Amino acid sequence: MYTDFFDIKTTIEDSIKAQEKFLKSYESMIDVTNDHANQTPRELVFEEDKLKLYHYKKSTRTVSKIPTLIIYALVNTPSMMDIGEDKSFIKKLVDSGLDLYLIEWGFPTADDKYLTLDDYINIYIDDCVEYIKKEKGVDKINLLGVCQGGTFSLMYTALHPEKIKNLVTMVTPVDFSTDDGLLFKWGKYLNPDKMVEAYGVIPGEFMNTGFLTLKPLSLMVNKYVNIINDLDDPDLLSNFMTMEKWIFDSPGQAGMAYKEFLNSMYRENSLMKGEMTIGGKKVDLKNITHPILNLYAERDNQVPNAASIPIEECVASKDYTVKSFPTGHIGMFVSRRSQEEVAPTVVDWLKNHAR
C-alpha cells in the first residue's frame, strides 16, 4: 500500500536527474564567455578623469541634425541599454537615425571621494556638452536622461538652459516625498554623513545590497531556476549572464556627491521644492521652458510613478508630453516593448522637435 503512493526508485532517479541538470547549468554558466553588452559600434571621443564620452557610429541617414547625449545614473552602468542586437535600446535609436552620444561615469576610487554634484553637473556634463557642440557645430543639443541621470539632466537644463534644445526623461524621479517603493521609504532614514565618514567612497556592493532587496526573494530565486530550462540556447544563456554581470557590477559612489544627493533629494526633497543649490546657484526647474518628453514605467519598482509624474508641475515648459508603458524599470530598455514602442516614441518625438 505504501509503495503505491511513494515510489522510492522513481523519486531517487528524478532527484539524480535534477542534480545532473543543475550541475550542467552551473558548468554552462561558467563557460559563457560572450558578453552581449555594448555591442553597438561606438568610438571613445572624450575623456576626463574617470569619465568617458562615446559617440555611436551612424548606421543610417540621420533624422535629426541635433545630437543627443544620454546621461545615465551613477548607480550601475549604462550597458543595460545596449544588450544584444535584437533588444538593444541604443542600437534601435542609432538604427533609427539619431546622432547619439553616451556618458560612462566610470568607477570612482578613493581619490574621488570629494567629488560633488557641482563637479558632475557643472564640470563633467557641461564639458561633454561643450565638446559635442564644438564637434558638431551646433549651439544646442538634446539630453536623454535615465533614472538618476534624468534628475541630473533636469538640474543641468535648469542651470544651463541656453545649451539644451530638447529634454527626454526616462524613469526619472523628481518628487522624493513619496513613500511608494522601499528605496524611497528607506532613503529618508539613511544617514549618508555617517556612511561617507566610514567609507569615503560608498562601495558598489553596499549599493547592490539595497537594490536587490527591492525584489521578492521568490523572483530572485526563480530566475536561476528558469534559466536551467534554457541551457540549449547559448544566446539566451549569454544574455542572461550579461544581465547578471550588469546587476552586480556596480560602481562605488563618490562620497560627497552621494551625501549631497541623499540629503537634498530623499531627506529634504529640495529640488521639487525649488530650494536646491549647486555650485552656489539655485536650481530653479521653472527655468526649463524647453520641450520635454517624460516616459515612465507603470510597473516600476525602483522609481515610483509618483516620483516621475510631477515633473510637469515643476517645469515651465508649454510643450510637455508624458507617456507611460505597461512594463518595469528595466523593461523600458530590454524588452520587446522597448523595441517596438519605447525607442520609436523617443525617435519620433526628437525627429518632430528637430527644428
Check residue 204 and give its pLDDT. Answer: 81
The one-letter amino acid code at 255 reads: G
Q: Which residues are catalytic?
A: 147
Check residue 212 and give its pLDDT. Answer: 44
Angle at the Cα of 39 from the Cα atoms of 33 and 40, rounded to 5 degrees: 175
Residue 214 has pLDDT above 50, yes or no: no
Specify the pairing of strand 141-146 against strand 68-71: parallel
Q: What is the mean pLDDT of residues 288-300?
A: 97
Q: What is the pTM of this model?
A: 0.83
The one-letter amino acid code at 206 reads: F
Residue 195 has pLDDT above 80, yes or no: yes
Give me 351's grid cell.
Answer: 525627429
Q: Which of 27-31, 33-37, 250-254, 293-297 is least confident?
A: 27-31
CA 344, 345, 350, 353 torsion: positive or negative? positive
Give the chain's mean pLDDT: 85
Nearest residue to 52 (alpha-carbon basis) of 110, 114, 109, 127: 127
**CA–CA distance, 21 with 180 (Å, rounded to integer):** 40
Give me 65's grid cell.
Answer: 541634425
Specify the pairing of strand 51-56 against strand 42-48: antiparallel
Backbone angles phi, psi at 42, to 5 degrees: -150, 165
Ranked by mean pLDDT, which of 37-46, 180-189, 237-246 comes out on top? Answer: 37-46
Angle at the Cα of 27 from the Cα atoms of 24 and 31, rounded to 5 degrees: 135
pLDDT band at 21 (very low <50, low <70, confident <90, very high): low
Alpha helices for 120-250 (secondary structure H): 126-136, 148-159, 182-187, 192-199, 204-212, 217-227, 234-248
